[in-house]
Amino acid sequence: MRILDLYIGRTFLIYCLLIMLVLAVLLSLFELIAQLDDVGKGSYRLPDALLFVLLTIPKRILDLLPITTLLGGIVAMGTMADHGEIVGMEAAGISVPRICATVFVTSMLLMLTAGLLAEMVVPAMEQQARKSHALAISSDEGIDLSREGFWVRRGNSYIHVEKMLREGVAAGLDIFRFDDRKQLRTYTHAKNAVLQDNRQWMLHDVTQRTIDDGEITTRQLPTLAMDSFLRADQVSVLGLPPYSLSTSDLIRYIEALKESGQDADPYAIALWRKISVPLATGAMALLALSFVFGPTRSISAGYRITIGSLVGIVLYFVDQMSVQWGLLLNMSPVVTAMLPVLLISGITLVRLRKVF
């Protein structure tokens, strides 16, 4: 029995990986074509575009995991059914629920992969890709990107920003102000800052140290206003999309946006999607089984794959568009993120009821 379980799981994973490879390469080519529009801007060249495509591959893999799990399951189990292997297993005493359980347990590896990608790989790779892209196309000599955020020079002040969000929220600001003799006079640290009307930054949770005649004076301020050190277009270029942030960053920025009275829903949705994507991957594995053991069991493999592909494509676009729908309809972030999972699970339950 264990040998058959391993065979089923291995076949399922192999087909999932093959389909993932094909789709990831195809979407990467589309992304490269899109990046060609930026080639020639600033110092952005073809090697930079290729690097951007490579760094953003993990995000594409994460987006594709649910649909590749569906298609991989349909092709793998459908091929085994057409070759009579499923019938042979049933004759050997392996029940359909046992086969389904084996596939679902194997799909947990893909669910774990989705969770690890969403939390540990995608944020780091996406942030590096965005920083490299911004550095190459930016012609602003006053901005220097570093591994941890970026530096801006304005007069005698040097400003370091750990992360910039597209909504005009900066996190982790360090401001160093020097005098004409290049002596440090003031050091200011702010937990976060919010851009107001593109003219002024409002710093929150501020610690300011002033150096005067060798003495250091420290004061704590709830807020502190300062002139804008970035243009609106620079904020847009340097801003990080919600999906490129880790869980801890998302929680911190959601709190910062709520404190400043701004809409935090896009970041709350991104936070919940770190849970919904792995769950959708597992649900897709079960949905694939319904195409093999359900009402379509007697039809040809080609027709089964075609139907499954159409269903997968529809569910993929529903998943990708659910965020926009949720924001437009002002839905709860939890509902918005979990809606595709609920839809997939509902379809799966209806179809599997006909099997069992």
For 288-325, what is each residue's pLDDT tens digit?
A: 988 887 554 556 667 777 888 888 888 888 888 888 88
Highest averaged pLDDT of the listed ranges 45-49, 179-183, 225-229: 45-49
Query: Rounded to an integer, what distance in angstroms lies between the CA atom of residue 104 and that of residue 93?
Result: 19
Q: Can you give the length of the chain in residues?
A: 356
Report the domain count for the chain. Answer: 2
What is the mean pLDDT of the segment spanning 90-105?
85
Pair 226, 332 in one domain: no
Q: Are residues 65 and 209 in the same domain?
A: no
Q: Do 181 and 255 lie in a common domain? A: yes
pLDDT for residue 26: 96
Among 20-29, 91-100, 227-236, 264-273, whose mean pLDDT is lowest?
227-236
* pTM, to two decimals: 0.81
Taking 80 as the threshold, does the pLDDT of residue 341 lie above it? yes
Contact between residue 290 and residue 126 where contact means Cβ atoms under 8 Å apart: no
Do 241 and 304 sit in the same domain of this protein?
Answer: no
CA distances from 175 to 156, 160, 207, 209, 226 (A): 10, 6, 10, 10, 11
Domain C-terminal end among 259, 285, 309: 259
Do both 105 and 218 map to the same domain? Answer: no
Q: Are residues 269 and 132 in the same domain?
A: yes
Q: Does residue 133 sit in the same domain as residue 272?
A: yes
What does the pLDDT read at residue 209?
Answer: 93
184-196 and 169-178 strand pairing: antiparallel
| CB-based contacts of 356, cutoff 8 Å, min separation 6 | 96, 97
CB 107 within 8 A of CB 355: no
Mean pLDDT of the chain: 86
CA-to-CA dists, residue 1 to 8, 81, 101, 280, angstroms: 11, 18, 13, 28
Based on the domain organization, do 131 and 275 belong to the same domain?
yes
Can you give the residue range of the structural domain that contains 304?
2-137+265-353
Determine contact, residues 287/344, Cβ cutoff 8 Å: yes
Single out the residue in 219, 244, 259 at which a domain terminates: 259
Higher pLDDT, 327 or 11: 11
Chain mean position to CA 201: 28
